[in-house]
Amino acid sequence: MNLPNLEEARKRTLKKSLIVKNNYDFKKIVKDQKYFLKTYGCQMNEHDSEEIRKYLEILGYSKTTILEEADIVVLNTCAIRENAHDKVFGYLGRCKHLKKEKPDLIIALGGCMSQEESVTQEILNKHPYIDIVFGTHNINDLPKLIIDSKNKRQIEVLSIEGNVYEDILYSRDSNITAWVNIMYGCDKFCTYCIVPYTRGKQRSRNLSKIVEEVKDLKKEGYKEVTLLGQNVNAYGVDLNDGTNFKMLLENVAKTGIERIRFVTSHPWDFTSEVIDVIAKYDNIMPYIHLPLQSGSDRILRLMGRRYTKEEYLRLFKEIKEKIKGVSITTDIIVGFPNETIEDFNNTLDIVNTCKFDGAFTFIYSPREGTPASKIKDNISKVEKEKRLYELNDLVNKYSLENNKKLEQKQVKVLILGISEKDNNKMYGYTETMKLVNVKLNKELIGHIIDVKITCAKSFSLDGEII
Ligand code: 5AD
Ligand code: SF4
């Protein structure tokens, strides 16, 4: 087999990122063949997979959820923590085994892991059964790579960000709620985080193109959009023409789409003007995911988060005061290098103050190439786990407490579908992003209905349709 070298595989693009129209100049190449697509990680990856799926479908592949049935397997990977990495290499083992039985099987690896030079190197050296590697900046090369992979292994990753594409077509997961990407990359460079390296510098999409996309989704019958970015509050800053997130939110609200959400917010860029816009428009949902990461000023400084505990609390308070009934969730990392018990107790303190509606909690894991990975990872695994459990207990206590306040109350729920756990129930979300289960009535899927909450648990609510 003809193997490219690392330099060939990792193309650098030194040109300034341009905003260009996506190219769909390719046709059906297969008949009666199936794709299996597996997505790891965040909502951004889920949304990228909707683009990948569109390309696979245009080429003629149809979906299977059974790995063994696939003619092409695409893994859209995540690099944020070490366990994400391990999971992907574990799964590749299964794919390798399948390829022994089905030599024509195409195996493709995309997403954040592909952007890591060490991963490309490892694939070149140790995983010859992987036919295609593509990165986060050249997803739209996938059709060409699939076509060319018939003759030669295709490993092509842009090591510096490429163009910003507009008019991308997606094969969306849902016909009720839709992700809308508003920006690529991140300029915050939190010291533990690999995202600025795997997704590149911040590039915002054009405001009117985003608004057009939302208007089209509304016309197609979508009820909810979630504006996506690594740091949505910094939207527009790179455009240097005064465009900002407040303007975008206001314009999206004016489209009249029923529900608008956005993730993720960085406290440093969160302005009072944005809070005012959320409070002003009924169709901007009263739910904010506001990552804290740590409650210790010393650790926040080491993390390069650019705010103190007091500043976070001031913002939290302003949001709570101005947005009626708002729910706030967060992300917290435990066991950052040199985190003392006192630092950790400061995190518990702020959780006790904020009483978050929910929190995603993580054990710190060093990511190669990040500044924090150069500091000795000196907290033992046992200690990190102990802190995680203690934090989770506290977080769950407040989730339950907050949810209990909803018992016997009436809430508006957008019904999304039939519950996977119980086929006699449907699930949906409140305006404040709480998961609700109600009795089956398929006609209500895609509708916003009034529900009385009958029983609250830590992670979901049971309700009766009114
Ligand atoms: N280790 C542990 N958690 C991390 N996160 C990001 N990088 C790391 C890391 N190296 C967490 C942060 C972020 C969330 C998406 O993942 O809390 O907000
Ligand atoms: Fe990573 Fe920080 Fe950017 Fe979030 S804001 S993606 S944690 S660098």
pLDDT value at residue 331: 98
Closest atom of ligand 2 to 266 CA is: 5
User: Cα–Cα distance between 63 and 35 in angstroms, integer?
Assistant: 5
Closest C-alpha to 113, from 177, 157, 160, 152: 157
User: Cα–Cα distance between 126 and 111 in angstroms, integer?
Assistant: 19
What does CATH list as the number for 164-404? 3.80.30.20
**Contacts of residue 404, Cβ cutoff 8 Å, sequence gap at least 6:** 456
Q: Does the CB atom of residue 364 touch ligand 1 within 6 A?
A: yes
Domain span(s) for CATH 2.40.50.140 in the chain: 410-465
The alpha carbon of 288 and the centre of ligand 2 are apart by a number of angstroms equal to 16
Cα angle for residues 58, 177, 184 (degrees, 5° grid): 70
| Helix axes of 309-322 and 272-280: crossing angle, nearest 10 degrees | 20
Q: Does the CB atom of residue 329 touch ligand 1 within 6 A?
A: no
The alpha carbon of 42 and the centre of ligand 1 are apart by a number of angstroms equal to 11
Nearest-CA residue for atom 2 of ligand 1: 364
| Residue 392 identity | N
Architecture of domain 29-156: 3-Layer(aba) Sandwich (3.40)
User: Cα–Cα distance between 403 and 455 in angstroms, integer?
Assistant: 9
Closest atom of ligand 1 to 332 CA is: 17
Output the pTM of the full model. 0.95
Closest C-alpha to 33, from 62, 73, 66, 67: 62
HEC-encoded secondary structure of 52-118 = HHHHHHHCCEEECCCHHHCCEEEEEECCCCHHHHHHHHHHHHHHHHHHHHCCCCEEEEEEHHHHCHH
| 336 half-sphere exposure, CB direction, 13 A CA radius | 26
Q: Does the CB atom of residue 336 touch ligand 1 within 6 A?
A: no
Q: Residues with Cβ within 6 A of ligand 2?
A: 186, 188-190, 193, 195-196, 230-231, 266
Strand 154-158 relative to strand 164-166, pairing: unpaired
Torsion of CA 158, 163, 167, 171, to 10 degrees: 20
**Contacts of residue 389, Cβ cutoff 8 Å, sequence gap at least 6:** none
Q: Does the CB atom of residue 143 touch ligand 1 within 6 A?
A: no
pLDDT value at residue 1: 45
Closest atom of ligand 1 to 291 CA is: 18
The alpha carbon of 365 and the centre of ligand 1 are apart by a number of angstroms equal to 8
Q: At which residue do the structure tokens 């308070």 appear?
A: 317
Distance of CA 272 to the CA centre of its chain: 25
Count of CB atoms within 10 A of residue 380's CB?
A: 10
Nearest-CA residue for atom 7 of ligand 1: 193
Q: At which residue do the structure tokens 């504006």 appear?
A: 227
Extract the tokens encoding 413.
């729920």
Distance of CA 289 to the CA centre of its chain: 12
pLDDT in tens, 310-358: 999 999 999 999 999 999 999 999 999 999 999 999 999 999 999 999 9
Closest atom of ligand 1 to 367 CA is: 10
In a structure prediction context, what are the per-residue pLDDT tens digits for the chain, which is 466 residues long?
455 677 777 777 756 667 788 888 889 999 999 999 999 999 999 999 999 999 999 999 999 999 999 999 999 999 999 888 889 999 999 999 999 999 999 999 999 999 999 999 999 899 999 999 999 999 999 999 999 998 888 988 988 887 888 999 999 999 999 999 999 999 999 999 999 999 999 999 999 999 999 999 999 999 999 999 999 999 999 999 999 999 999 999 999 999 999 999 999 999 999 999 999 999 999 999 999 999 999 999 999 999 999 999 999 999 999 999 999 999 999 999 999 999 999 999 999 999 999 999 999 999 999 999 999 999 999 999 999 999 999 999 999 999 999 999 999 999 999 999 999 999 999 999 999 999 999 999 999 999 999 999 999 999 999 9
The alpha carbon of 332 and the centre of ligand 1 are apart by a number of angstroms equal to 8
What does CATH list as the number for 410-465? 2.40.50.140
Inter-residue contact 228 to 47 (CB < 8 Å): yes
In order of 110, 194, 259, 371, 392, the CA distances from 185 in angstroms are 16, 11, 25, 18, 30
The alpha carbon of 360 and the centre of ligand 1 are apart by a number of angstroms equal to 9
pLDDT value at residue 15: 62
Candidates 264, 362, 385, 391: which one to mutate for ligand 1, based on the most atoms within 8 Å of Cβ? 362
Count of CB atoms within 10 A of residue 428's CB?
A: 26
pLDDT value at residue 211: 98
Domain span(s) for CATH 3.80.30.20 in the chain: 164-404
DSSP tag of 402: H
Domain span(s) for CATH 3.40.50.12160 in the chain: 29-156
| Residue 152 identity | K
Q: Does the CB atom of residue 331 touch ligand 1 within 6 A?
A: yes
Ligand positioned closest to the Cα atom of 41: 1
The alpha carbon of 189 and the centre of ligand 2 are apart by a number of angstroms equal to 6
Inter-residue contact 257 to 214 (CB < 8 Å): yes
Q: At which residue do the structure tokens 């390309």 appear?
A: 55
Strand 448-456 relative to strand 461-465, pairing: antiparallel
Inter-residue contact 422 to 437 (CB < 8 Å): yes
